Structures are given as structure tokens and as C-alpha cells.
Amino acid sequence: MLTSEGSNSYLNGSDELNKVVIDVDEADLSVLEENLKLTNELTNKLAINLREMSELNYKAVKSVNPLMLKINRLKIQQKNFQSTLKLVDDIKGYAQHIKTLDKSLNSCGDLNTMAKINSFCSIVTEYQSLRKKLEARRMNDFEGLVKGLNDSIRDSDVTLKFEFIGKLKTLGKNAQSNEFGDFSKEDQALIRHLALIQSHMHNIRGKSLIDTVIKERADFNLKILRSKEATIPNLVKDQNYLYDGDKSSNSFLNYSMFFTSLMTSESDFLSKFLTDFSELRQVLAQIFKSCLDEYTTQFNKFSTFVENHKLQYGTMMFEIRKGVLSVVSRLTKFGISPPTELSSLVDSTNEECRAIFGYFFKFIEQRYSELILGDQVSETLNNTFMSIVTRMVKLSSFGESLLEAIQGMPNGSWLPSNRPFGFQEVKTDTRDPNYLLSIYFGDIIELNYYHLENKYKPKMPEEDLGIMLMFNLDGLQNLIESSNSLRHILGQQGVQRYEKLKKKTMEKATSGWTNMTTKLMRASTKQGANLNASTKELKILVDEFNRDFDENFKKIQNKKLPPFFKKQLVQDINMMLAPAYRVFYTNLSADSSTKSILKHLKYDVNTLQNKITSIS
């Protein structure tokens, strides 16, 4: 601070300065010099005084600064102390909150209702929120508090995962005891529980239970699928046998249908808590990987069996293919790419199904090559012919599969290189599967017919051969009439081919009557007004006719012909022989030279017609 002495000195200097008057015009140089000296002295004094004032101010400030620093430091310490006290209070509050949440969590008990699970998840959500607050306040260094909170969160996660697995297993047990694919009220409640837990873990905890789902459901579905294992049927050693479908529940087709139902049920189940289709597709693909491996193993088992017994069980491949296609179709529906091995099975089954068309003709050749005829043969049903026809009827039961397999096959590609005499291949460029299938079954009928005819032809007269063929065609017709599937496949084109065979057979069966008719027609020709034949020739003809008619009549009458063919046979004989006999009889009556021959004819026209009609 300034002293009073310094202050007075400063004031006196000012007064003296005011007394100095410098007038350059009036003062001389000496006065000016004196004044300048005085001014300089005053200036120096003023500078000294100012320096003293500055030093005094510096000392004053220097003495105040430490005090201010102490005051500021005390204020900071006070603020820190208050913050510390507040932090301690907050920590106590957080600890108490965690303790309260722990008690609430323990009071939830068994998580067997939606309310309890909701309450449990809400508490875990509060744990999660509390931890975020601690992280935001950078309080992670409080190890005791954070560790307790993390332990509570970890324990709750373990509890929820344990409950999730337990409920999945319970669902699996229920599915084994209840009807497959039918969720009871209890099951539906469990599914809702699973969906809630899954949603909480995914959305709140940011954790996925998908791996758990995949493991549990993969094991469950594989166990269920293995419990329905397909069983290869007992081998039928009869060489005439043809597999026409397995009616048991353990067939490969039923096994495949069960697998597709299993996939559908699993998809329905998972979709209740996996809403993202892409995720659902990926999960399904992983769940059913082991099931698809098991399915492929079953396929290979059945495929090997068919390969070893082609002639009897080749048609089983139709069912196998149908089953494989159903599985592939269901996978595609779920957006899952079928495994490469399964896709290759689809291609291989198509080739195997096409090969069945050729197998049938190999069977026909084999059966007729084994057919040995004795010296005495009868005009009855032939076992070989009928066994082939019976196989054909069984084959027709696979109509839809046959249509699928024949698509894209060239007409006649199924025919053997060695064909029986008389058989004529149908020529067509059509790609219509229905028409091709009709041709195929018509080919079976015709090859069977001509094999039978050629086998018996050296052993029988033509008429007897015709009657024998007639018997067998009658057996075929009965089977056609009783089989809707075969009639549908044959269609109009196939029936026309069959009718041609009937006509051909009828001509053979009536060959004796045809010869009689031909002789009558030849004898009835005239040259002018007279018959060409002499009286002697006519008499011989009449005697032969009487004899042949009675013999043929007795032969037919004694044979137990099929009613339909017998009726048709009588009609054909009547239509053929009666008109020719009428003309011959009339010509004999009109010629006076041949009238005498009439008395040698055993029957008049009406009597002959009635006689023929009486056969039926």
C-alpha cells in the first residue's frame, strides 16, 4: 500500500510543476535550461514513486493468491466429498435394488405359466436396464456390485435355457404318446412358453437359442422317423408274382408320406416362434439333415431289393419314386434345396421306372421259353397266358406312375428285338403319354397272344387252335371288364386292337364251317342255266356236307365254350353258312336235273338255321 509520505511528495511535485511557465519568446536560454532540469528531476521523482507503488501492489497480490488457492481447493474438496457421499448413497440404492430383484426372481418359482414367465423375464429386463445405467455412469470398477449383478443375469439366463430345453423335451414325449401332429392344449401352452422365452432371449438378452432348438428337435425327429422304419416285404418266390403295392403301414411310400408329415408338423411348430422365413428355412434344413441321411439309407435298402428281384418287384420302384418325389417336393415348398444325393435318387428312380416297361416283355419271353407242351393239348385256359394277363392287370394299378414314366419315351422302345410271328408294331410319332400307354398295354396283349398261338400251332388243327385262343381271350375279357384301371388305360385304341384279335380268333375257330361254306358257294356257281358241278359231284358234296355239319355241330356242342364267345360263334356261323346253304338249296330246287339230290340233304334251310341256333 502507498504511505502518506510518498503521497505528500507526489502532491508537492505537482505544485512546483504548475509554477513552471515556459515562454520561449520571453525567456532566455538559461531560464529554459533551468526549467528543463527541474522538469527532469520531477519526472525522475514521479517514476520512483510509481515504481514504489507497483512494488507495493505486487506484494499485496502475492500475499492474497495463496489464500485464494486454498479457498478454491477447499471448495473442490467440498464438492468431491459431496459427490462421494452421493455416489455411496447411489451404490447403496443399486445394491438394494439388486437385492430386491433377486428376491422377486426367487419368488417366481416354477415357470409353468405365461404369467410367471412374463414376470421372470421382466425382472431380467430390469437387471439388464440396471447394468446399462452402471455402464453409462462408468461404475464398472465397483467389482462387488457389478459381479453380483452379472451373476444374477447369468443365473437367470441359465434358468430360462434350462426351462426352454425342458419344455422342448416334454413336447417330444407328448408327441410320442399322442397322435402325431396333433397338439393338445398342454402342448399349445408349452409352445407359447417357448415362444415367449425365445423372444425374450433374442430381443432383450441378444442371445440365440437356435442351436438348442436344432439339437433337441433334430434328435427328436430322427427318433420319431426311426420308429416308423420301412420294412421290406417278405419275398414271394412265385415266378409269376408281380408286386402290386404294399398295403401295410410299413411300406416305403407310407414311410415317405410320414416323413413329409413330420416336416410339415415341425415347420408349423417352429413357425410359432421363428417368424423370419429365411431363418426358419435354415433351421429346418439343419434339423432334418440327419433325417435325410436316414431316409437315404432306407431308400438304398429298398432300391437294392428291387434291383435283385426286378421281374417280381420292379413295380415297387413306382412307389419308391413317388415317395422320394413327395419328400423333395416338401423340401422345395419350405425353400430348402434337396441334398445332392437325394436329387440324384430322383433321376435314378426315373430310369428304373422306365426300365419296368422292358422287364415285362422279358418276363413274357421267359415264361414261353419255359412252356413245354406234350403231344396231347387241350383247348382250355392256358396258365402262362393267364398269368401274364393277371400281371398286366396288376401293372395297370400303377396308372399314374406309368403315365409319368412313359413321357418322353419313343413309341416301341420297350419292345424286344425278337418278336413272335404275326405281331405288328403300331407306328406313330405321338408323344401323348395316354396314347403311348394304351399302345404299350396293347403290345402286351398281342405279344402274349401270338406267343401262345405260335406255341400251339404245330400241335393243333386250326379250328381247335382258334377255340383254344377263344378260351384265353375270354379269360382276358373277363379281367378287362373287372378292372377299371385296365379299361381306362386301353381306351378306344386298345379295345380296337383286342377286337381284331377276337375276330382273328373267331375265324380260326370257324375254319371248318368256313370250308363248308366255301364248298357250297363254289357248287352254287352256274354256267348259263345249269350248275357247274355234275350230278355225281353234287351228290358227293351233299354227303360230305351232311357228314361235316353233324361232326362240327357235335364238336362245338360238346365243347364248354365261354358263353359270350359261343353266342358270337353261332351268330358268325349262321351269318356265314345259312345264306350259302339257302342259295345252294334254291339252285338245286330250280334245276330239274338236280332236284333228286335234294332228298339227300339232311336239313332244309329253316331246319339248318334252327340247328345252328340250338348250339347256343
Q: Highest-confidence range of 71-80, 92-101, 170-179, 598-607, by mean pLDDT?
A: 598-607
Segment 507-519 shows an average pLDDT of: 91
Instruction: Read off φ and ψ for residue 138, nearest 5 degrees.
Output: 55, 50
* Cell numbers representing residue 62 in the block: 502475492
pLDDT above 50 (res 26)? no
pLDDT above 50 (res 351)? yes
For residues 611 and 198, the model is more confident at: 611
Q: pLDDT by residue (tens digit) across 436-475? A: 999 999 999 999 999 999 999 999 989 889 999 999 999 9
Q: Residue 62: which pLDDT band, with cuts at 50, 70 and 90?
A: low
Q: Which residues contact 600 (CB under 8 A, 6 or more apart)?
A: 539, 542, 543, 546
Segment 153-164 shows an average pLDDT of: 82
The pLDDT value recorded for residue 155 is 81
Q: Residue 295: which pLDDT band, with cuts at 50, 70 and 90?
A: very high
Lowest mean per-residue pLDDT among 226-235, 557-566, 594-603: 557-566
Lowest mean per-residue pLDDT among 161-175, 178-192, 416-430: 178-192
In angstroms, the CA 388 to CA 448 distance is 7
Whole-model pTM over 0.85: no
For residues 486 and 13, the model is more confident at: 486
Q: Is 562 helix (H, G, I), strand (E, B) or coil?
A: coil
550-556 CB contacts, 8 Å cutoff, 24+ apart: 550/602, 552/512, 552/513, 552/516, 553/611, 553/612, 553/615, 555/512, 556/615
* Cell numbers representing residue 215 in the block: 439339437
Q: Residue 139: which pLDDT band, with cuts at 50, 70 and 90?
A: low
The pLDDT value recorded for residue 79 is 59
* Cα-based distances in Å from 77 to 67, 72, 73, 85, 91: 15, 9, 6, 12, 21
* Cα-based distances in Å from 274 to 88, 111, 267, 423: 45, 21, 10, 64
The pLDDT value recorded for residue 15 is 47
Q: Residue 92: which pLDDT band, with cuts at 50, 70 and 90?
A: low
Segment 181-193 shows an average pLDDT of: 78
Percent of the chain with pLDDT over 90: 44
Q: Residue 1: which pLDDT band, with cuts at 50, 70 and 90?
A: very low
The pLDDT value recorded for residue 325 is 95
Q: pLDDT by residue (tens digit) across 406-421? A: 998 999 999 999 999 9
pLDDT above 90 (res 39)? no
For residues 242 and 92, the model is more confident at: 242
The pLDDT value recorded for residue 409 is 94
For residues 46 and 341, the model is more confident at: 341
